[in-house]
Amino acid sequence: MSKPYYLTTAISYPNGAPHIGHAYEAIAADVMARFQRAQGRDVYFQTGTDEHGLKMAQAARDQGMAPGELAAKMSQLFIDMCDALDVTYDRFIRTTDEDHHKACQAIWTAIEEKGDFYLGRYEGWYSVRDEAFYDEKELKEGEGGEKLSPEGTPVEWTVEESWFFKLSAYQQPLLDHIAANPDFIQPTSRRNEVVSFLESGLRDLSVSRTSFDWGVPLPGSEGHVMYVWLDALTNYITGVGYPDGGDKWDKYWPAACHLIGKDIVRFHCIYWPAFLMSADIALPEQVYAHGHLLGEGGIKMSKSLGNVVDPKQMWERYGVDALRYFLMREVTFGQDGAVGEEALVTRVNAELANSFGNLAQRTLSMIHKNCDGVIPAAGNASEDKALLDDVMAAATQKLPEAFDRWAFSAGLEAWLAAVYACNAYVDTMAPWALKKTDPDRMAEVLGTLAAAIQPLALALLPVAPTGAQAILDQLKSGEGGQPIDKPTPAFPRLELPEQEA
C-alpha cells in the first residue's frame, strides 16, 4: 500500500468574494487529490479560510460589520465555490474553529518551551494587504514616490510591543534542509529564490500584535494576539489532529504537499518550516508554488482595470468540467498565464467537445445503431493494436507521470495526442463505409474505439469528472453483453454569450 497523501491548499482571506485565482488553486488541488485517490492512495485533502488579522478586521470595519460576522458570511462563499466546482475536500477549516485555537496555543507553547521567543518592540514596515513585515531594503517606490512592499502593496510604519521568534537561528538549518531535500520547494525557480533570500540573512520575526485584538489570544500574555501568519500556517496541523495526535496525525502528518501561490512562498518555505523545527514537528514533504492567473493580454487582474474574471460567471456560463479542463490545460502549472472567456470557449470546443466528446458520441451512437447496442470486441489488426498501445501509454503512463509532478497541461497534451490518434483512426477506417462492405470489420473498429475511449475517459476523470464519468457510465451500461443506453453528448459545444450592446 502506498503512503497516505495529505494535501492542503492555502487558506484564503475571506475579506471579499472568491476570485478566479482561488478557484484555480482549489481546482488544481482537487485534480491532484482525485488523481492520487485513483492511484490507490489514501488521500486527506484540506482547504479553508484564514479569518484573523488586521486585514480582516479592517475589511469588517469598512463594511460596518464585526470581523466574525464578515468572516462567517464570506467563508460561506468559499465553501459554496468549492462545492460548486466539485472540489472533494475532506475538511474545510476555518481559523475561527475551536480546535484551531487549541492547536495555535499548543504550537506557541512548544516554541516557547524551546526558548525561541523573546519580548521586544517592533519598529518597521507592515503591509496589511500581505499581512507581512518588510525590511526597508526590500521596499520599492510607487508612482507617486510612496513606499511599497515587494508585492506592490502599501506599507505603514508600525511601532508596538511584540513577541519575537528567533528566526535568525534557523537560517542554516533551513538551508541544510533544502539542500538535502531537493523536492521540498518546487518548482526549482522558487527554491532558488528561497535559497538566495536565506543566504542574504534572516532577521527575527515579530509574531504577536498588540494594536488590535482580532486573533488568537496568546497564552499568558495579556493584550497580545498571535501574528496572523503563525495562526494561519498552523491550520495544516490542526486539520490532522495536532496537538492531541491520534490516527489522522499518525497517518497523514507530515503532509505530502502544501499547494500555494507564488506570492506566499516566503511564509511557507521559511517561516513555517522554522516554526515546525522549533516545535519539533516533522516538516511537510513539499511546498509547490503555482503561478498567478492574469487577465486577457497577460495583464494583472485588478478591480480598477475591470479585467477581473469572476469564477462563478465562468462555471455558470460554461459548466464546471469546461472551467476545470481549461484552467488545467491553458496555463503551464507553476507559471503565470492569461485566461479569459474567449480562450476558454475556443480550447474547450476544440479539445473536449470536438475531439474527445465527439469521438465518444460518434462511436457510441454507431454501436447503438449498428451493433444492436452491444459493444463489440476490439480488433486484432496491427492498426488496432497500435492504436490501443498508444492510448494505453498516454492514459496509464504519460498522463500519470506528468500529473504526479503537477504538470497538468503536459499530461493533458499527451492525453490529447492519443485522442487525435483515435480520430485519425476513425477517419482512416471509415466505419460508416464498412457498414455496407464489411460489417465484421466495422464491428472490430468500433470495438477498438470503445476499448480506447474507456482508459481515456478514466484518465480524464480527475479533471472533468462529470463528463468523463458520463462516458464511463455509457460504456458500463453495455457490460455483460447488455445493449448500451442511447448516448448523449458528455461534452457539449460552448458558445460565447451575445455581445452586450
Residue 26 or 468: which CB sits closer to ligand MSP? 26
Residue 295 or 455: which CB sits closer to ligand MSP? 295
Does the footprint of ligand MSP cover residue 70 (CB under 6 A)?
no
- The reply to whether 187 sits near ligand MSP by the rule CB under 6 A is no
**Nearest-angstrom CA–CA distance, 97 and 72:** 11
Binding mask 204-243 for ligand MSP (x = CB under 6 A): ----------------------------xx-x--------
Closest distance to ligand MSP from the beta carbon of 320 (Å) = 18
> Does 265 interact with ligand MSP (rule: CB under 6 A)?
no
Q: Is 190 in the site for ligand MSP (CB under 6 A)?
A: no
Q: Does 328 bind ligand MSP (CB under 6 A)?
A: no
Binding-residue total with ligand MSP (CB under 6 A): 19
Give the C-alpha separation, 185 to 335, whole Å. Answer: 15
Residue 292 binds to ligand MSP (criterion: CB under 6 A): yes
Closest CA to 84 of 382, 310, 371, 409: 310
Q: Name the minimum Å distance from CB 10 to ligand MSP.
A: 3
| Residues 85-114, mask of contacts with ligand MSP (x by CB under 6 A) | ------------------------------
For residue 254, the minimal CB distance to ligand MSP (Å) is 16
Smallest gap from residue 59 Cβ to ligand MSP (A) = 12
Nearer CB in complex with ligand MSP: 29/475: 29
From the list 402, 379, 378, 391, the residue with the least C-alpha distance to 458 is 391
- Nearer to ligand MSP by Cβ, of 259 and 457: the residue is 259
Burial 392-402 (b: 16+ CB within 10 A, else e): eebbeebbbeb
Is 299 strand, coil or helix?
strand
Encoded amino acid at 281, one letter? I
Provide the CB-side half-sphere exposure for 63 (13 A, CA).
16
The single-letter DSSP state of residue 99 is: H
**Inter-residue contact 384 to 448 (CB < 8 Å):** yes
* Lookup result for grid cell 474553529: 97
- Range in contact with ligand MSP (rule: CB under 6 A) among 197-205, 260-268, 324-332, 412-420: 260-268
Nearest approach in angstroms of CB 181 to ligand MSP is: 20
Q: What is the DSSP string of 360-386?
A: HHHHHHHHHHHSTTPPPPPP-SHHHHH
With helix as H, strand as E and coil as C, how does 228-270 read? Answer: HHHHHHCHHHHCCCCCCCCHHHHHHCCCCEEEEEHHHHHHHHH
Residue 264 touches ligand MSP, criterion: CB under 6 A: yes
6 lies in the site for ligand MSP, by CB under 6 A: no
Amino acid at 332: T
156-172: burial string, b at 16+ Cβ within 10 Å, e else: eebeebbbbbbbebbbe
Query: Least CB distance from residue 128 to ligand MSP, whole Å?
Result: 12
Which is closer to ligand MSP, CB of 18 or CB of 319? 18
Residue 390 binds to ligand MSP (criterion: CB under 6 A): no
Taking the complex as a whole, how short is the minimal distance between the CB of residue 309 and ligand MSP, in angstroms? 9
Letter for the amino acid at 29?
A: A
Contacts of 112 (CB under 8 A, 6+ apart): none
Note whether 295 binds ligand MSP by CB under 6 A.
Answer: no
- Please report how close the Cβ of residue 193 comes to ligand MSP at its closest, in angstroms: 15
**Residue in the block written with cell 486539520:** 239
3-state class (DSSP) for residue 61:
helix
Q: Return d(Cα 257, Cα 199) in angstroms, integer.
A: 24
CB closer to ligand MSP out of 235 and 349: 235
Which single residue is written with the C-alpha cell 481549461?
A: 326
Should residue 260 be labelled a site residue for ligand MSP when binding is judged by CB under 6 A? Answer: yes
261 binds ligand MSP (CB under 6 A): yes
- Kindly state the cell numbers that stand for 307: 479585467
In the stretch 8-47, what mask flags binding to ligand MSP with x, by CB under 6 A? --xxxx-------xx-xx----------------------
Q: 25 or 30, CB closer to ligand MSP?
A: 25
Could you give the CA distance from residue 394 to residue 104 in angstroms, rounded to a whole number? 45
Of the pair 233, 328, the CB lying nearest ligand MSP is at 233
Does residue 147 touch ligand MSP according to CB under 6 A?
Answer: no
Distance of CA 79 to the CA centre of its chain: 15
Q: Which of 86, 160, 263, 485 binds ligand MSP (CB under 6 A)?
A: 263
Binding stretches for ligand MSP (CB under 6 A): 10-13, 21-22, 24-25, 50, 232-233, 235, 260-261, 263-264, 292-293, 301
